[in-house]
Amino acid sequence: MDNKNLKQLVIWGLGFVLLLTLFNSVKTVPLETEIPYSEFRSRLREGAIIQVRMRPDLISGDYRDAKGATQHFRTLPLPDPKLIEDLEAHKVSNFQGERDRSGMYAFALNLGGILLFFFLWWFFVIRQVQVGGKQAMSFGRSKAKIVDDKKKKTTFADVAGCEESKEELREVVDFLKTPDKYQKLGGKMPRGVLLFGPPGTGKTLLARAVAGEAGVPFFSASASEFVEMFVGVGASRVRDLFDQAKKAAPSVIFIDELDAVGRARFAGIGGGHDEREQTLNQLLIELDGFEQNQGIILIAATNRPDVIDTALLRPGRFDRQINVPVPDCKGREAILKVHALIVKMAPDVDLAVVARRTPGFAGADLANVINEGALLAARKNKEVVELADLEEAIERVMAGPQKRSSIMSDREKKIVSYHECGHTLVAKMLPGTDPVHKVSILSRGFALGYTLQLPLEDKYLTSRVDITNRLAILLGGRAAEELAFNEITTGAADDLSKATAYATRMVTEFGMSDVVGPLSLKKPDQEMFMGRDLNKGGAFSERTMQLVDEEVKRLVTEAQTKARGILAANKKALDQLAQSLFDREVLSGDDVDSILATARA
Nearer to ligand ADP, 192 or 200 (CB): 200
What single DSSP character describes residue 407? Answer: -
Buried/exposed code over 422-460 (b: 16+ C-beta within 10 A; e: otherwise):
bbbbbbbbbeebbebebbbbbbeeeebbbbbbeeeeeee
Q: Residue 581, interface with ligand ADP (CB under 6 A)?
A: no
CA distances from 152 to 131, 174, 206, 213, 368 (A): 37, 21, 15, 12, 20
Residue 405, Cβ density class (10 Å: 0-12 exposed, 13-18 middle, ≥19 buried): exposed
Judged by beta carbon distances under 5 to 8 A according to partner kind, the member of ligand ADP, Zn ion, none in contact with residue 190 is none
Q: Which stretch binds Zn ion (CB under 5 A): 52-60, 315-323, 350-358, 474-482?
A: 474-482
Can residue 340 be called a binding residue for ligand ADP (CB under 6 A)? no
Active site residue 257: no
Helix (H) or strand (E) holding 471: helix 464-485
Among Zn ion, ligand ADP, none, what does residue 477 contact (CB within 5–8 Å per kind)? Zn ion
Stretch that binds ligand ADP, among 59-67, 79-87, 197-205, 218-226 (CB under 6 A): 197-205
CA distances from 442 to 97, 174, 304, 360, 493 (A): 101, 33, 18, 6, 18
In angstroms, what is the minimal distance from the CB of 324 to ligand ADP? 6
Residue whose Cβ sits closest to ligand ADP: 363
CB under 5 to 8 A by kind: which of Zn ion, ligand ADP, none does 495 bind? Zn ion
CB of 159 to ligand ADP, least distance (A): 5
Question: Least distance to Zn ion from the beta carbon of 439, Å?
Answer: 11
Name the one range near ligand ADP by CB under 6 A: 361-369, 394-402, 435-443, 483-491.
Answer: 361-369
In the Cβ-directed half-sphere of 12, how many Cα atoms lie within 13 Å? 15
Q: Which stretch binds ligand ADP (CB under 6 A): 8-16, 22-30, 157-165, 552-560?
A: 157-165
Is residue 49 close enough to count as binding ligand ADP by CB under 6 A?
Answer: no
Question: Is residue 495 part of the contact set for Zn ion (CB under 5 A)?
Answer: yes
Q: Which of 61, 190, 202, 250 binds ligand ADP (CB under 6 A)?
A: 202
Q: Name the minimum Å distance from CB 141 to ligand ADP.
A: 24
Give the one residue of 71, 75, 142, 201 binding ligand ADP; rule: CB under 6 A.
201
What whole-number distance in Å separates Cα of residue 274 and Cα of residue 278? 6
Task: List strands edge to edge, sheet with 49-55.
Answer: 33-34, 70-75, 58-64, 49-55, 94-97
Q: What angle do CA 554, 555, 556 make, to 5 degrees?
A: 95
Cross-strand partners of 220: 145, 254
End-to-end CA gap in the chain: 83
Closer Cβ to ligand ADP, 161 or 234, answer by number: 161
Q: 62, 63, 56: which is closest to 97 by C-alpha?
A: 56
Angle (CA) 423 426 429, round 5°:
145
Cβ burial 129-160 (10 Å sphere, 16+ → b, else e): eeeeeeeeeeebbbebeebeeeeebbebebbb
- Distance of alpha carbon 484 from alpha carbon 403, whole angstroms: 30
- Identify the sign of the CA torsion 302, 308, 311, 315: positive
Is residue 364 part of the contact set for ligand ADP (CB under 6 A)? yes
Shortest distance, CB of residue 413 to ligand ADP, whole angstroms? 22
Q: Does residue 205 interact with ligand ADP by CB under 6 A? A: yes
Residue of 49, 233, 255, 367 interacting with ligand ADP (CB under 6 A):
367
Contact 359, 442 (CB under 8 A): yes
Query: What letter does residue 136 receive in the DSSP assignment?
Result: H
Whichever of 159 and 503 has its CB closer to ligand ADP, that residue is: 159
Q: What is the C-alpha separation between 394 and 371, in angstroms, rounded?
A: 10
Residue from 420, 481, 482, 585 carrying the catalytic annotation: 420
Nearer to ligand ADP (CB atom), residue 298 or residue 567: 298
| Number of chain residues interacting with Zn ion (CB under 5 A) | 2
Q: Report the nearest approach of ligand ADP to the CB of residue 372 (Å).
A: 13
Say whether residue 346 binds ligand ADP (CB under 6 A). Answer: no
Which of Zn ion, ligand ADP, none has residue 389 at its interface (CB below 5 to 8 Å by kind)?
none
From 123-131, 202-210, 215-223, 569-577, span contacting ligand ADP (CB under 6 A): 202-210
CB atoms within 10 A of CB 572: 10
- Taking CB under 6 A as the rule, which mask of x and - marks residues 292-321 in contact with ligand ADP? ---------x--------------------
Q: By CB under 5 A, name the one of 142, 477, 507, 552 that touches Zn ion.
A: 477
| Residue 476 binds Zn ion (CB under 5 A) | no
Q: Is 375 helix (H, G, I), strand (E, B) or coil?
A: helix
Q: Should residue 199 be labelled a site residue for ligand ADP when binding is judged by CB under 6 A?
A: yes
How near is the Cβ of 222 to ligand ADP at its closest, in Å?
Answer: 10
Binding mask 536-575 for ligand ADP (x = CB under 6 A): ----------------------------------------
Q: Which is nearer to ligand ADP, 108 or 338 (CB)?
A: 338
User: Which residues neighbour 524 within 8 Å (Cβ) at sequence distance 6 or greater?
Assistant: none
Q: How many CB atoms lie within 10 A of CB 283?
A: 30
Dihedral in degrees, nearest 10, Cα atoms 88, 92, 97, 102 = -140
CB of 279 or CB of 440, closer to Zn ion: 440
d(CA 357, CA 254): 33
Residues that bind ligand ADP (CB under 6 A): 159-162, 199-205, 301, 335, 338, 363-364, 367
Residues with a known catalytic role: 420
Residues that bind Zn ion (CB under 5 A): 477, 495
